[in-house]
Amino acid sequence: MTNTVSTNKDIIKAKKILPGHSLVLCKNEELIISDKKGISAIADFIISKKSLCGFSAADKVIGKAAAILFIKAEIKEVFAETLSVGGKEILEKHNIAVSYNTLTENISNFNKTDICPMEKLVSKTFDIEIGTDLLLKKLNEFKKV
């Protein structure tokens, strides 16, 4: 599914709650909300080994980096206010339903001066395990600074 209206109640609920938050995950009646920036929210769930299998996710910005982590977390459907072409391609390749408001070529860094460093990091890989390892190592480096 690409940019169509979903009938999945979980994604509908997550999208409704998203304004004012960074990430909303929903599965049945369970809601998980995060206001962390960038890929930190989904990465933290992966690091903590929180099972997100079957959840639907609504996120402000999804690039290839976030998409790789959603795939790793076994999210079943995603909605992005802004989605990158690379994110869309890898989600679709892994049969994850995806919808969005805006499709963009690249995701910018926080200062909007360049491409997001996380996007650059995974630009050449399509392997979910390699991509996840690269991203988690880089996030860990950022935390040490």
Q: Could you tell me what percent of the chain has a pLDDT over 70?
A: 95
d(CA 83, CA 67): 9
Instruction: Please state which architecture CATH assigns to domain 9-144.
Output: 3-Layer(aba) Sandwich (3.40)
Tell me what pLDDT residue 5 has. Answer: 61
Q: Which of 10-19, 40-49, 135-144 has the lowest mean pLDDT?
A: 135-144
Instruction: List pLDDT tens digits, range 87-132.
Output: 999 999 999 999 999 999 999 998 999 999 999 999 999 999 999 9
CA 136 to chain centre: 14
Does position 49 have pLDDT exceeding 50, yes or no? yes
Q: Could you tell me what percent of the chain has a pLDDT over 90?
A: 87
Does position 56 have pLDDT exceeding 70, yes or no? yes
Cβ neighbours of residue 7 closer than 8 Å, sequence gap 6 or more = none
Within the chain, residue ranges assigned H as helices are: 9-17, 40-47, 64-72, 85-93, 117-122, 128-144
| 142 — pLDDT class (breaks 50, 70, 90) | confident
CA 16 to chain centre: 17
CA 36 to chain centre: 12
DSSP 120-145: HHHTT---HHHHHHHHHHHHHHHHH-
Tell me what pLDDT residue 103 has. Answer: 98
- How far CA 19 is from CA of 16, 60, 61, in Å, comes to 7, 9, 12
Tell me what pLDDT residue 1 has. Answer: 44
| 143 — pLDDT class (breaks 50, 70, 90) | confident
Cβ neighbours of residue 105 closer than 8 Å, sequence gap 6 or more = 84, 85
- What mean pLDDT comes out for the span 79-88? 97
Q: Which of 2-6, 33-37, 65-69, 119-123 has the lowest mean pLDDT?
A: 2-6
